[in-house]
Amino acid sequence: MMDKLIKRLDELNFVIGLYFGFVSLILWLGYFTSDDMHRPLILYTALTFLIFSGFMIWVKGIVE
Amino acid sequence: MTLSVFDYLIILVYFLFVIGVGFIIKRKIKSSNDFLRQSTRIPLWITSLAFISANLGAQEVLGMVASGAKYGVMTVHFYWIGAIFAMVFLGVFMMPFYYGSKARSVPEYLSLRFDEKTRGLNAISFAVMTVFSSGISLYALAKLLEIILHWDFDLSIVVAAGIVMAYIFYGGLTSAVYNEVLQFFLIVLGLSPLVIVALHDVGGWSVIKENLAPELTHAWKYMGTADANPMGIHFMSLIFGLGFVMSFGYWCTDFLVVQRAMIAKDMQAARQTPIVAALPKMLMPLIVILPGLIAITLMTPALASKGYSIPTDANGGLDYTMVLPSMIAHYYPSGLLGLGITALMASFMSGMAGNVTAFNSVFTYDIYQAYFAKNKSDKHYLKVGKLTTVVGILASIATAYIAKSFNNINDFLQLVFSFVNGPLFATFLLGMFWKRTTGHGAFWGLVAGTCAAALTHGLTLAEGKGAWIYPLAEIKSGMGQAFIIASMAFIANFVTTLIVSLMTNPKPEAELRGLVYSLTPKESFAKGPWYSNPVTLGIILLTITVLLNILFF
């Protein structure tokens, strides 16, 4: 499992997916602790990033 | 603007990832070619996104938002007239010579096509420009962080330069290219929520059109006379100055962007790189011009209740450069601010890294190896390449401090760009498409073009700048002046190269195969699918570009 993960670090799309996954996680944390009136914007952004992250991690055909 | 712990976390994760990419690539760096060119077979989607990301620096992001607020929809000309046509031309006509000649850089192509003196002139002027450009990016980033976050200027310089140095030093060009792709997604996805929420807040495109003066919402309608539009430019000046000379001069000859296509895995991918890149480039106005238009709409009396205003400068005028940071501060809540700041940082770092990697290659291959140490081992050139990274970053830091001392250094740099890039396209156009062009013609053409640019600047006055010889003519805007300077430089270079070439002996045809259009076998794409053919893709893109121009006429 760990070997597979390390091997996939060579794929740029995987690294990008991982990055946006982390950012999404931070945004979720920010959303749950924020009382700002603009909270929904954080939620929608976190959700979009999560979907993008999942796509970049899942897709394999765009790398060599 | 106050950042929360989550904002700082987003910035920290970004720093860790860009350096991490450098470490991942480090394992593959074994030769100077791995470091200065590519250490792996880089696929098309990466070279294409890196191609536009290398141009997505501070000037592009902050500058285009500022221009969107100042000049309105006319700013799209920098994309739909000033980029797409040249990118398609590069892919269809010029890449076969750059890639097919096996040159490692644009100056090296000049050496193969012409001679060493033309290469030397281009390499030195390009190396100086990239260091200055990189330093300006660094200065602008530190200044921005100082103004909006009250971070220490010196510390911001050291941290930003240190991070860029780390990932280039370890991973070379491949690391810079990989990070440019990450930065591209970060810029686009980090600024998209701003565009959506601000557009919703202002009431949509129809409200923008209702509230703004008509000359701010049309691209071409008010260009019949220079006085009728905010840019102060006649459409003929725009088409020739921006659409032909400046655009083709930059996109087709500037090694900073061409390098991204030159490292593609094969000829087909190299030709497709600028063409595929043209598609997202065409849509970039949504991210970088629309916020400017929204900002200026929010300043109209009908929308004053929204509570947004563009910051003012020391003289009380609108500080358009601060439009994007002020909109991020206005619309992004705590927890999302870090994303906006990281997107801005990504644009600055992407611009800086692009310049440093181009400087590395040109210095090592075209200056050091060509003139100082011809037959050394590959290990030696790898060391020099790495050392050049450190020197390039240190020189950028020094330039950033020079920029701090002289508040008009960015204007000066733009001027130098129009002096150097303006005439360069004439050299390539004649060199690639007229086999009679000689090395002497190319060299003296470049010298004459640069002198013509300086002369035009010295005789014209725009917004208080120029006319250091004599104020012969006054031009409404600095942008109009830049177009005229570039046009004069191009014409002077073209005519001089033509005349000198006719008076001197050309290279034998056998030495020009693969370097000149008429002496190079044409590649056939008849067997492949339509989407692999650069010509078909180019025609589709140009058709969409024409339609967009009609839509926003």
Cβ contacts of A41 on chain B, cutoff 8 Å: 193, 197, 331-333, 336
Domains of chain A by residue range: 10-63
Chain B residues touching A39 at Cβ < 8 A = 333
Decide: helix, strand or coil at residue B197.
Answer: helix
Hey, is B466 helix, strand or coil? Answer: strand
> Inter-chain contact A12–B46, Cβ cutoff 8 Å?
yes
B53 vs A contacts (CB less than 8 Å): none
Neighbouring CB atoms inside 10 A of B218's CB total 17
CA–CA dist B228, B221 (Å, integer): 9
Is residue B182 within 8 Å of A15, Cβ to Cβ? yes
Q: Is B503 exposed, middle or buried (0-12, 13-18, 19+ CB in 10 A)?
A: exposed
**Interface residue of A6, A7, A12 to substitute, partner B, most B CBs within 10 Å:** A12
Collect all residues from B whose CB is shorter than 8 A from any CB in A: 4, 6, 9-10, 13-14, 17, 20-21, 24, 40-41, 43, 45-46, 178, 181-182, 185-186, 189, 193, 197, 265, 331-336, 338-339
CB B68 within 8 A of CB B230: no
- Among chain B residues, the shortest Cα distance to A63 is held by B43
Query: Is B16:A18 a contact under the CB 8 Å cutoff?
Result: no
pTM as predicted: 0.89
| Rg of chain A taking only CA atoms, in angstroms | 14
Chain B residue at shortest CA distance from A40: B333
Q: How far is CA B280 from the centre of its chain?
A: 15
Hey, are the CB atoms on B13 and A23 less than 8 Å from each other?
A: yes
Using alpha carbons only, what angle is made at residue B108 by residues B400 and B421, rounded to the nearest 5 degrees? 50
Give the one of B9, B41, B197 whose C-beta lies nearest to A41's C-beta. Answer: B197
pLDDT of residue A64: 46
pLDDT tens over chain B, length 553 residues: 778 899 999 999 999 999 998 888 888 888 888 888 876 678 888 899 999 988 887 777 888 898 899 889 999 999 999 999 999 999 999 998 888 888 888 999 999 999 999 999 999 988 988 998 888 888 888 888 888 788 899 999 999 999 999 999 988 888 888 888 988 999 999 999 999 999 999 999 999 999 999 999 999 998 898 888 888 888 988 898 888 888 998 899 888 889 889 989 888 899 999 999 999 999 999 999 999 999 999 999 888 888 888 988 878 888 888 898 899 989 988 888 899 899 888 888 888 888 999 999 999 999 999 999 888 999 999 999 999 999 999 999 998 888 776 655 556 666 667 777 778 889 999 999 999 999 999 999 999 999 999 899 899 988 777 888 888 888 877 777 888 888 899 999 999 999 999 999 999 999 998 899 888 877 766 667 888 888 899 999 999 999 999 999 9
Asked if B459 contacts B467 with a C-beta cutoff of 8 angstroms, the reply is yes
Roughly how many angstroms between the first and final C-alpha of chain B, as a whole number? 39
The answer to whether A31 contacts B335, with C-beta atoms less than 8 Å apart, is yes
Where residue B464 falls (left for φ over 0; alpha for ψ -120 to 50; beta otherwise) is: left
Q: What is the DSSP letter of B103?
A: -
pLDDT value of residue B407: 53
